[in-house]
Amino acid sequence: MNQKKKILIIGHYPPPYGGIASHIRDMAERLSKNYFFINILSFEKKFKEEQLNNFCKLFRVINKLSIFLLFFYLINIKKIITIFFNLWSIKISSWNFFSALNRAIIVKFYLVKLNIRTVAVYGTETGEIIPFLKFLSPNINICFTFYAAPIKDKNSFLKNIKFWKKVFLQSDKLSSSSNFCAVGAKLIEKNIKAEVIYIGIDLSRFKLKNDNFFLNKKIKKILFVGRMRKEMGVMSVIDIAKKITSSRNDVVFDIVGATGDLNNNVINISETSRDKINYKFDVTDQELDYFINNCDILIAPTVGSHACMGVSAKEALAAGIPVVASDSGGLPEAIANNSEGFIVPLKNGEIDVNEYCKFIDILCDQDKIRLEFGKKARLKAERLFSNDVTEKKVSSFFTFE
């Protein structure tokens, strides 16, 4: 067995739960068993160290100037002066400049303390630390995984193009979780190429269904999973649920996921639905598995460029469930139209509620189509999105000779 390699991962770790945080948790657990000594640094409001397993440790760290950091500032004073000379004129903002500098100082402290030379930075905004970190530790290897921000906030990134060129060009390796999001790097520098590594799914969480699951069902369960926010399509979900449940007696809607500013909108529609529209906020992993394993159709009506590739859509594929999704972000990469589900084009940038309802009606009325799509969905998840597939790619991405 090869000797385990050391790596420091910078990114959010649950709780609170979210796509990136959950991915880091699951990926770190898998890779620490086979390939790496993993240390995770998460910037938070309180300090805590936690041993996650024999080969994985978590540091929750506060991003503020502290006594122990003053010493690191002093011994790195020449490099800090160089940072000001090289980066101040192309800073994003004074606040972000000093925040990124302080975070980079903290990261270097842990690199020295833990004797680590490879850093994995997760999240586009977290990438702000990369130019600072390269000045402080020019010999480290940096793997940068970015998502939809360069596309979603294009004007902001182009406004600070000189700074973001340094972020991307000073990274030794780049990756993103869909082809859609990987193109964002080319907005920064046209010759940049990022490797596409899909977020993996634990297939063992989702049970294989026999044909009877899809046939002759009196009640079909339709599921939405996401944060209760506008960009996740929650208002459209409410409109779709109202329209479908008012025209059909054989449908129940479940709206589940993380809390957001539209919680009350969901609660209000549920209370007037006569138990046809239900909700559950801040679901546990076990609850989420139950909802996905027991639904008949999953909908993903996200808008704009928010989703690199929705995790819940891939989990539905793994459960053998057809998906009705928008043609936004990377969702069309996950769901082939009329194969594992239906892709609904946005209409003037908005969700086409009538088209969503049309495809939901088709899937509710045609048991054999749900069965056929569900089987194709599971096969696709096994081929492209399983942890076994993505784990090898991530391991290679983190490895330097």
d(CA 8, CA 129): 14
Token digits for 26? 């699951």
pLDDT above 90 for 182: yes
* pLDDT, average across residues 183-189: 90
CA of 307: how far to CAs of 10, 180, 323, in Å? 21, 9, 15
End-to-end distance of the chain based on CA atoms, in angstroms?
A: 17
Lowest mean pLDDT among 82-86, 154-158, 323-327: 154-158
Report the distance separating Cα 126 and Cα 149, nearest Å: 11
| Mean per-residue pLDDT over the chain, rounded | 93
Q: According to CATH, where is 3.40.50.2000 located in the chain?
A: 5-200+387-398, 204-384
Give percent of the chain above pLDDT 90. Answer: 79
Q: In this structure, which amino acid lies at residue 279?
A: Y
* pLDDT score recorded for residue 1: 42
Strand 36-44 and strand 5-10: the pairing is parallel
DSSP 3-state assignment of 215? coil
pLDDT at position 307: 67
**What is the average pLDDT across 39-59?**
95
Q: How many CB atoms lie within 10 A of CB 56?
A: 20
* Predicted model pTM: 0.89
With cut-offs at 50, 70 and 90, classify the pLDDT of residue 156: confident
The CATH number of 204-384, from 3.40.50.2000, 3.40.50.300, 3.40.640.10, 3.50.40.10, is 3.40.50.2000
Is the pLDDT at 339 greater than 90? The verdict is: yes
Q: In this structure, is the dihedral angle defined by the CA atoms of residues 202, 206, 210 and 212, taken in order, positive or negative?
A: negative
Domain 5-200+387-398 classification at class level: alpha beta
Strands 56-62 and 48-53 turn out to be antiparallel
